[in-house]
Structure 1
């Protein structure tokens, strides 16, 4: 803990843009645009959270297609060009409407810069490795497509989260963050090694356990308020929540009451296409039992499919709905 307390984060060479004023909606019960570190979801296999000594920590980059191996200290990383970005992360084990998604402001170094410095080329440029295997100090392995982390997106080796050094439970001293990919194929915490290899040559931890080797985040939307089985009063009820489709963006959110027509919700301003968006819909609620359903359309124009699927092998999909009983009225 002493080594974390001594960490002083560098000023980013490329700071995040200010969050647009219209990106944060003042609706009671809605998820905040930025998820506080204490509330950010945690899903991993660590029975005991590693307490890594930042002074002794090293990151090794090696493997197929690496012209020059690199070994870096935390001080080395922090001395490089740093960037700050708002990025929403989601877990593949998140059920439709589930809590395993959050948005934070991350500070780190672009992973693609390190890879190119080591001589790595993506497959689209003739590179021999198509998989990057990140290893954690606790032995976890996570496989990520090389093409994805080198395609221009803000894939980071992050050491800062919402203005402070990474909390221990979120990967101190360094973790990976890759917009648009589920955590189990990108978000290695407590990282200590990056090996370039191929998907044919190596299966990372989750693949033999039935999960897909590649897993882009699926478009999802969630009703935060009213809560399931809530009992709002008749009249105008603000239905609100969040929608996410990292690296594609959210174009539209629609709400349906019972079996009625889809109605377009009001979207909060977009921060970036790598962050979730809040939304609201004012519902003139009549007394009785009602089902509220939400769906989102991403930046490519693709709308969430209705049919629900399980989280395995590559993430759940389907429409989120809540049942409420409206009270009051004549």
Structure 2
């Protein structure tokens, strides 16, 4: 009896530091695996280990970089990544020991690792806000797992210190470490495989140089952008452009592997590679895209400069047969959209098979390498990203993805306007009321502002490159103290006044006037 107590007491004095290091190691593998999978889903440039590796390469002196290449050849980068990974996991192992010694001690270590990862991501070309999420989420999940395992260790330690049986606590910890460690290892391997493909495609995208346009777009007039603080810019930066699609994971398509097939009700099936598309006489066009889900006053709308080839010219090669009235476009991820054939063959409409957006290759999340852009139609019937097939057919024979779900088969964009500023509180006196309005492929004739239900007052319209884009507008308001209501409406080039009747986005787009409440001090 005395001997058993002595043995138990001896077990209680053991600090369990190696078990804590194992917990930190497992949590580190899990966190990195989650970060890699997150980067694969959201933004390949957001993978923290490879980002830190590129940062290290950038910071190393040239002789050392050349030495690595000469010594290791093509293995230089994998070796560097392996070294960084091992170093990070060693640090994570000691984070486990720090967490066992003091609560949140491991969190501080994981935070340092996260900062290093974020610094690497920030230094990468093409890093956008979404690219920072994988590191933050991955290492946060890693720490939560570490805390769970350390809780089991503390139960084990406390039982031993109290001379109580420790077998249950020990088995609980070891089982958790074994199961999570195995899952983390599988996740890490899967993440590396998937992320490797995504990274290669992203690097291919960054290396691409867009060809010049045979028909450049007119220069954006300086007067197109009123430069009012808080007002949406005339051209929406790629990083700020809305994204709505059905892809759970952004399709990753190497331009060398991409091809488009035009078939169905045609006399001649046409197949086109990316190189063949890029070699055609391309067209630039500024056009606004709008999502049918955009509510009144919503932000699911953006304006960009697109580079591509007219779809009507490709359809002319295929020669649609009599009776066809729709083109069913298919994305690499299986999404489909049904576009009226006459909208794609209209000589006055720049419906493009686009490869460029605002002067650079399409971002991965916006359809790289190729997408459709059709002015005047909501995206769900026209703006197919990652497009790989165009089937000439009929509305009677085929339906796009959203039509069976209750949305209209044809989606002309409704005339709309929005107030961007002011939105909350302003000082009394002259206040600039400003926003954007759009009537794609028809164009705007006027925008009017109403204060507190009074008479409609004309706003000043900014310049534009053509009828396919939104236009900024502004109105000088002599604001008096109190609570006020501001309302906006637009009139298109055909004389149609915006519909005041409130309607939700389903089934064919929202309608109604955008109204904001403002407090004047």
TM range (shorter): over 0.9
Query: 2-side partners of 1:151 and 1:46: how far apart?
Result: 30
> Which residue in 2 is equivalent to 1:76?
276
Q: Measure the CA separation in 1 of the matches of 2:227 and 2:204.
A: 38
1:175 & 1:305 partners in 2: Cα distance?
31
- Spell out the pairing of 1:235-254 with structure 2 (5 A cutoff): 235-254=429-448
Aligned twin of 1:137: 332
Partner of 1:124: none
User: 1:2, CA displacement in angstroms?
Assistant: 2.7
Instruction: Report the CA distance between 1:32 and its aligned residue.
Output: 0.2
Which residue pairs with 1:34 in the alignment? Answer: 235
Contact 1:235 1:286 in 2 (8 A): yes
Pick aligned residue for 2:262 from 61, 73, 77:
61
Q: TM-score, normalised by structure 1?
A: 0.95
- Of residues 151, 167, 172, the one that matches 2:346 is 151
Take 2:205 and 2:268, find their aligned partners in 1: how far apart are those partners?
A: 30
Larger radius of gyration: 2
Contact 2:327/2:341 (<8 A) preserved: yes
1:22 CA displacement: 1.2
| Structure 2 residue 432 is matched with structure 1 residue 232 | no
Deviates more, 1:89-98 or 1:45-54: 45-54
Matched, 1:198 2:375: no
Relative contact order, higher structure (CA 8 A, sep 6+): 1
Alignment match of 1:172 (pick from 363, 368, 371): 368
What is the count of residue pairs matched by the alignment? 319
1:244–1:276 contact (8 Å) kept in structure 2? yes
Aligned-pair CA distance for 1:6: 2.9
Residue number in structure 2 paired with 1:49: 250
Please give the secondary structure, in 1, of the residue aligned with 2:204. Answer: helix
Describe the SS at the equivalent of 2:255: coil
Distance 1:37 1:2 in 2: 18
Task: Give the structure with the larger strand fraction.
Answer: 1
* Alpha carbons 2:253, 2:369 under 8 Å: kept: yes
Deviation at 1:117, TM superposition (A): 1.1
Aligned mates of 1:324, 1:160 — CA distance in 2: 40
Q: Cα RMSD over matched residues?
A: 0.8
1:267 corresponds to 2:461 = yes
Instruction: For 2:438 and 2:335, locate their aligned partners in 1 and report how far apart those are by CA, in whole Å.
Output: 27
Corresponding residue number in structure 1 for 2:412: 216
Q: Which runs of 4+ in 1 moved over 4 A?
A: none
Structure with the largest fraction of helix:
2
1:310 maps to which of 485, 504, 517 = 504
Distance in 2 (alpha carbons) for counterparts of 1:159 and 1:205: 23
Residues 147-178 of structure 1, C-alpha deviations (whole Å, 9 max, x = no match)? 11111200000000000000000000000000
Tell me if structure 1 keeps the 8 A contact 2:328–2:399: no
Superposed counterparts of 1:94-113, under 5 Å = 94-113=294-313
In 1, the alpha carbon distance for the partners of 2:368 and 2:213 equals 18
Structure 1 gap ranges (5+): 122-126
TM-score normalised according to structure 2 size: 0.61
- Cα distance in 1, alignment partners of residues 221 and 370 from structure 2: 28
Determine the C-alpha separation between the residues in 1 that align with 2:460 and 2:342.
35
Deviation of the 1:270 alpha carbon = 2.4
CA–CA distance in structure 2, aligned partners of residues 312 and 260 of structure 1 = 31
Contact conserved, 1:3 with 1:55, CA < 8 A, in 2?
no
Counterparts of 2:434 and 2:218, CA distance in 1:
25
Deviation at 1:96, TM superposition (A): 0.2
In structure 1, the partner of 2:314 is 114
- Identify the match of residue 211 of structure 2 among 6, 10, 13: 10
Unaligned stretches of 5+ in structure 2?
1-201
Structure 1 residue 276: Cα displacement: 0.5
Q: Distance in 2 between matches of 1:80 and 1:257?
A: 51
- 3-state SS of paired residue (1:194): strand
Partner Cα distance (2:314, 2:244) in 1: 27
* Post-superposition CA distance 1:268-312 (Å, at most 9, x none): 012200010000001000000000000000111001121110100
Give CA-to-partner distance per residue, 1:179-227, whole Å, 9 cap, x none.
Answer: 0000000000000000011000011110010000001000000000001
The aligned residue for residue 292 of structure 1 is: 486
